[in-house]
């Protein structure tokens, strides 16, 4: 029995027609038939297709992660293996980073760290130069003739000036990632300030970050998946449910 047949059989066990599933999930009947027949060329781009599969599996009360992984292997097998190989190879060469560290956050933290180190080096050099300038110059005198085995120019070198170590840690933030599997009205408040309000469509992915808190209010809680500071929370609530939740450190 194939992957698509499993979906069809489960749908028929629950007593739903394709039209009824379309009405409930808002997934077009054309795409539902493509999933059950495994005609993946009919499907839209990957991000939308994966969202449809998650939504359909959740509607059929199946294991969402298992069904989604099987779909990715069937529809994007070579691409998935290449991505896994790339990730595993890089993991052997460098430590893992938290998933909430996006490229923008890493770049900003690196730039801030370099700036702090540059300022630290500048201050050390500046004050070291001030100390040297304040010291009185010794009177000029003729050099003494070497006595015995004394070697001219053999003088003690001053100890090296130790520069203080500085470690700058990136500031902790509240980061909430939202992925829409259905159309959903959304309102977002960050650190007490209204940030976003509008309708996101299936396949949309948005990320919101704040210093203290991020409040998410959804008009269709079952139509969005939530990820909080790199941890996957999963579906926000039930289909058609209005739900509001605050995320803090």
CATH code, 3-93: 1.10.260.40
Q: Which of 1-10, 143-152, 169-178, 223-232 has the lowest mean pLDDT?
A: 143-152
Radius of gyration of the chain (CA): 31
Location of each CATH 2.60.40 domain in the chain:
174-248
Q: How far is CA 190 from CA 28, 103, 104, 224, in A?
A: 35, 21, 19, 19
3-state secondary structure of 103: helix
Q: Which of 120-134, 187-201, 205-219, 230-244 has the lowest mean pLDDT?
A: 120-134
Q: What angle do CA 86, 92, 95 make, to 5 degrees?
A: 105
3-state helix, strand, coil in the chain (%, to 5): 45, 20, 35
pLDDT score of 45 more than 90: yes
pLDDT score of 38 more than 80: yes
Query: Mean pLDDT over residues 188-198, rounded?
Result: 95
Rounded to an integer, what distance in angstroms lies between the CA atom of residue 152 and that of residue 143? 9
Q: Which of 2-11, 63-72, 83-92 has the lowest mean pLDDT?
A: 83-92
Say what the pLDDT of residue 90 is: 46
Query: Mean pLDDT over residues 202-220, rounded?
Result: 94
Location of each CATH 1.10.260.40 domain in the chain:
3-93
Rounded to an integer, what distance in angstroms lies between the CA atom of residue 56 and that of residue 8? 11
Domain 174-248 in CATH 1.10.10? The answer is no
Question: Which is higher by pLDDT, 120 or 208?
Answer: 208
Q: What is the mean pLDDT of the chain?
A: 80
pLDDT score of 5 more than 70: yes
Q: Give residue 249's pLDDT band: very low, low, confident or very high (50, 70, 90).
A: confident
């Amino acid at each position: 029995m194939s992957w698509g047949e499993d979906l069809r059989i489960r749908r028929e066990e629950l007593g739903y027609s394709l039209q009824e599933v379309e009405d409930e999930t808002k997934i077009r009947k054309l795409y539902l038939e493509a999933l059950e027949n495994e005609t993946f060329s009919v499907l839209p781009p990957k991000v939308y297709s994966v969202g449809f599969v998650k939504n359909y599996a959740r509607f059929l009360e199946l294991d969402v992660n298992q069904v989604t992984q099987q779909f990715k292997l069937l529809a994007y097998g070579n691409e998935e293996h290449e991505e896994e190989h790339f990730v595993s190879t890089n993991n052997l060469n460098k430590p893992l980073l938290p998933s909430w560290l996006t490229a923008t956050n890493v770049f900003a933290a690196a730039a801030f760290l370099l700036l702090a180190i540059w300022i630290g080096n500048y201050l050390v050099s500046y004050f070291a130069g001030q100390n040297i300038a304040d010291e009185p110059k010794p009177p000029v005198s003729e050099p003494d003739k070497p006595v015995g085995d004394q070697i001219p120019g053999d003088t003690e070198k001053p100890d090296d000036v130790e520069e203080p170590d500085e470690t700058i840690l990136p500031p902790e933030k509240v980061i909430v990632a939202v992925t829409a599997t259905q159309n959903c009205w959304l309102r977002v408040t960050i650190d007490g300030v209204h940030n976003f309000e509008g309708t996101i469509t299936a396949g949309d992915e948005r990320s919101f970050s704040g210093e203290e808190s991020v409040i998410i209010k959804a008009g269709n809680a079952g139509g969005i998946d939530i990820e909080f500071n790199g941890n996957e929370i999963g579906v926000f609530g039930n289909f058609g449910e209005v739900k509001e939740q605050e995320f803090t450190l």
